[in-house]
Amino acid sequence: AAIFSIVLSNNTWVPLSQENPESRNLEILNQTNSTVVIYDEELPGVILAYFKEKNADILSLDKIVSSYKEEEFESNIFNKHDVAYIMFTSGSTGTPKGVPMTHENYINFVDNILAILPFGKSEVFSDFHDFTFDISIFYLFTCPLVQGAFSPVRGEKDKVIPIKHLVDNKITVWSSVPSVINRIKTFRPKDKIGTAIKIMFLCGEPLKFDVLRYCFDNMNMNHVYNFYGLTETGVENFYHRCTREDLIKYVKYGIAPIGKPLPGNVIKVMANKELYIGSCQVTSGYLGGRSKEKFEVIEGVRWYKTGDIVEKHEDVYFCKGRLDSQVKISGFRVELMDIEAHIAKQENVEQVVCFVKDHKGIKLLVAAIKPEGRFDFRELQARLKKELPSYMIPKEHLLLESFPLNNNGKVDRKRICADSPLINLGESIS
């Protein structure tokens, strides 16, 4: 209700999370110059001090609700170019980048979802992800428009393995990254999982066939949708309704296609197979004018350069990976250089390269480190917890005396990743 009130009253919503380190939340606040904070949990001291210094309005949601008197609400008619919300993505310098999204940017996505997905009456939407992850835009803005209900995941156990939550709360519309389903599969590989789910909205990571097959065979899903999109391009831009035939038709890929562009999205695939997206969903640019090189005007159309490699097969597209060092971890788009910037400034670290290893269907973030003197990986992790979200903290490490170089004299990232042993990664899982 607070989020809807912010958006409908012509203000801009900036989600913060208690899961983020205080330093990261402060970086976000400094970039947005926020003047009002509405909170439902006790504010950390540093954040509270920030708002007091700014003479901001500090409002308890509980107090607002308890003093509320019912009255007719008249929404101001907002301009489609007004900024509705600002999400933050990982930045290559160690500072998160703000992505302002206007009403026009996200409404096209919501309209498409309402037209494509077979919503019925009294749907119960899962509220599984943090609001700082833009998958939340899907259920935040579609649930009330179909007169549905939200079912927030509260306990830590349900966040890891949400089976009980799904069953007890009779979830009918589930949205998450595929790795959540993979965890259920790992926990109960042969069981039949009886739920009330009618629509499964998956995005943020490649949808591997073993997970898709589990959705069909073990969870008895009929409506599984694979979506692809970016924070900078209005949540989702491609979609594909998955079928059992996909498991045979696209067997050489081993993953579900991202499908076709959603209506209103125009795409261009460059000679190097990089995907460009141009539409009303593309942000006007990062806060502070950062990373302008990510946008380009070609023949009068403004494009966002995704950095993703795509390949067309008949009438659908597949995402084949990244051109640069960005990766997806638990659905979050992360720039490895961001993590490296934080590790490099720590004590006794001379050089660092981060990469992702796939181990039994789970993506593990690994740091290859050239130490300078005594080095303790657990101490490094403890320090990083004060600066980075948990999904950006490496789970495993390699200690190298020197880093291999490529023909251009640059650090050979691919070789470091390829030569890394898997035995230690298995130990970190257990």
**According to the 3-state scheme, what is the secondary structure of 144-162?**
HHHCCEEEECCCHHHHHCC
**CB-count burial class (<10 Å; 0-12, 13-18, 19+) for 249:** middle
pLDDT per residue rounded down to tens, the chain (430 residues) = 899 989 988 899 999 988 888 889 999 999 998 999 999 989 999 999 999 999 999 999 999 888 878 777 776 677 899 999 999 987 666 788 999 999 999 999 999 999 999 999 999 999 988 899 999 999 999 999 999 999 999 888 898 899 999 999 999 999 999 989 988 998 899 999 999 999 999 998 899 999 999 999 999 999 999 999 999 999 999 999 999 999 999 988 989 999 999 999 999 999 999 999 999 999 999 999 999 999 999 988 999 999 999 999 999 999 988 887 778 888 887 878 789 888 988 888 888 999 998 877 778 899 999 998 889 999 999 999 998 999 999 999 999 988 887 654 567 888 888 887 653 443 333 2
Predicted local confidence at residue 19, as pLDDT: 82
Report the C-alpha gap between 382 and 23 in whole angstroms: 14
Predicted local confidence at residue 377, as pLDDT: 93
Residues 308, 288 contacting (CB under 8 angstroms): no
Helix axes 209-217 and 178-187, enclosed angle (nearest 10): 70
Number of other residues whose CB lies within 10 A of the CB of residue 164: 11
For 180, phi then psi, to 5°, come to -65, -45
Predicted local confidence at residue 430, as pLDDT: 28
In 261-375, alpha helices (H)? 336-344
Predicted local confidence at residue 409, as pLDDT: 54
In 67-169, alpha helices (H)? 103-116, 136-142, 156-160, 163-168
Joined together, the tokens standing for residue 228 give 């692809």
Report the C-alpha gap between 397 and 377 in whole angstroms: 7
Report the C-alpha gap between 429 and 331 in whole angstroms: 19
Q: Sign of torsion, CA 308 312 315 316?
A: negative
- Specify the DSSP class assigned to residue 262: P
Residue linked to tokens 């966040």:
159
Joined together, the tokens standing for residue 354 give 């981060």
Q: How many CA atoms lie within 13 A of 27 on its CB side?
A: 19
Joined together, the tokens standing for residue 320 give 């084949």
